[in-house]
Amino acid sequence: MKRLLSALLVLVMVLCLASCGKKFIDVPVKYPEGKVVILMPTKEHYPEDYVVVNKLAEENKDIVVVMEYEDTRHLETGDPDILVAARKAAEVEDVKAVIFARAGYFTYNAAKAIKSKNPDIVIAAIEPEDDISKLNEVVDLTVAADRQLYAKDIISAAKSQKAEYFVFFAEDRYVKNNFLYMNYGTYLKNACEEKGIKYVEKTVKDSLYEDITVADSSLKEAIKEIYDSGEVKGENVVFYSLNPDRQINIINAVNEKGLIYIAPAFPTAYSGVADAYSIDTPDSVKDVDGFIKGVKAIFTLDNADKGRLSMYTYSLASRIQRGTLYAVYDIIVGDSEYTTNQEIAVVRLNNTDPDKRFIAQNLPGEEKSVVCYASGFEKLK
């Protein structure tokens, strides 16, 4: 009965958020005894998450321990770095939980290794690239961005820039080999059809597996091909990529041709613009407004770039990392009125910051999974 009542409470809360606007509930953070280890890939792979995670560690220095590792994806021999780091995390004195800040390839194996050493360790995986159903067999919580809402928001931003074509430069890492993104191209295509925009998807070589010059050449060849073949015409064209390493090249191409750049909301909303215009990335939700103002000031001073730009106006990485950490705290402490980790995470994520745009909800069919998103793009140029 308690489980049913708590589930109904979460459902009512989510429905209220969706229909009447969000009512912020001030849920005090419950700090646990013991250590929480956050496993984080190096900054070059996920710069925004990296900054946020290290800020959380500084704020929670008596509890949080950050362990960095290389985001190994192409493995020929030996163990992936994430597995090595997971084994070390399980051996940290008085460790109560391990959070995979970016749950890339081999997270399932890494989580199994942790549980084999100590089955009582709470494990949370953020943005898992392994099959979620399989991963949920060994972890206690998975949290990810809602790709369908994400796609609709991006295409709405493209339409506001008068886009006629939307070109998605896709890499296998983000499409074919990533469980969360397998349907992403379909979501984008459907959203384009709803808005009357032609959708074009071009496969390009991945800068993670190929030499950077080879990857850059692949992008240039793809751009030339879509124009030479007549797949796209004119300047009302969006160039879009999910790859953090690809953003600055996309921005440069857009500025050269006078096209449209829509910054991805996740996994890297700001690093491309930050690199292109030498401005620091925001490390929290409240810092985004200052970042946007800084970019606008640069555009006011420098009108040489011809491209149009729309930026995501919410630090989703910050919200997800912080909310997941606090949810893990709640799970460790164990005195929540909600009975499942999914319910605990939905409530905690929705109430980490008082922002009406953000909503977290259950992932249908998965009892340990939560998806979340905050809509909002702004036309900067």
CATH of the domain at 203: 3.40.50.11390
pLDDT of residue 191: 97
Domain that holds residue 220: 147-315
Residue 136: inside a domain: yes
Residue 379: inside a domain: no
pLDDT of residue 331: 96
List per-residue pLDDT tens for the chain, 381 residues long: 444 444 444 444 444 444 444 454 667 888 999 999 999 999 877 888 898 999 999 999 999 999 999 876 655 567 889 999 999 999 999 999 999 999 988 999 999 999 999 999 999 999 998 889 999 999 999 999 998 999 999 999 999 999 999 999 988 766 666 677 778 889 999 999 999 999 999 988 876 666 667 777 888 899 999 999 999 999 999 999 888 778 888 888 998 899 999 988 876 677 778 887 787 777 666 677 788 888 888 776 655 678 898 988 888 888 999 999 999 999 999 988 888 999 999 999 998 877 778 999 999 889 999 999 998 888 888
Domain end, chosen from 266, 299, 315, is at 315
Do 96 and 163 reside in the same domain of the chain? Answer: no
pLDDT of residue 1: 46
Do 54 and 198 reside in the same domain of the chain? Answer: no
Residue 354: inside a domain: yes
pLDDT of residue 19: 45
Do 92 and 22 reside in the same domain of the chain? Answer: yes
pLDDT of residue 302: 56
Do 139 and 152 reside in the same domain of the chain? Answer: no
Do 160 and 292 reside in the same domain of the chain? Answer: yes
Do 33 and 137 reside in the same domain of the chain? Answer: yes
Do 133 and 57 reside in the same domain of the chain? Answer: yes
The structure tokens listed for 58 are 């500084």
- CA-wise closest residue to 102 among 52, 31, 34: 52
Burial 203-212 (b: 16+ CB within 10 A, else e): ebbbbbeeee
Do 198 and 284 reside in the same domain of the chain? Answer: yes
Residue 30: inside a domain: yes
Burial zone of 225 (CB within 10 Å; 0-12 exposed, 13-18 middle, 19+ buried): exposed
pLDDT of residue 16: 46
Say if CB 84 and CB 106 are below 8 A apart: no
CA angle centred on 180, ends 345 and 120, rounded to 5°: 45
CATH number at residue 91: 3.40.50.11400
pLDDT of residue 306: 80
Torsion angle of C-alpha atoms 317, 319, 320, 322, degrees rounded to 10: 110
Do 29 and 79 reside in the same domain of the chain? Answer: yes
Do 136 and 157 reside in the same domain of the chain? Answer: no
Do 195 and 54 reside in the same domain of the chain? Answer: no
Tally of domains in the chain: 2
Separation of alpha carbons 215 and 45, rounded Å = 16
- What CA–CA distances, in Å, run from 90 to 121, 142, 273? 8, 19, 37
Do 290 and 325 reside in the same domain of the chain? Answer: no
pLDDT of residue 283: 64
Separation of alpha carbons 263 and 267, rounded Å = 10
Residue 238: inside a domain: yes
Sign, Cα dihedral of 263, 265, 268, 270? positive
Say if CB 357 and CB 375 are below 8 A apart: yes
Residue 243: inside a domain: yes
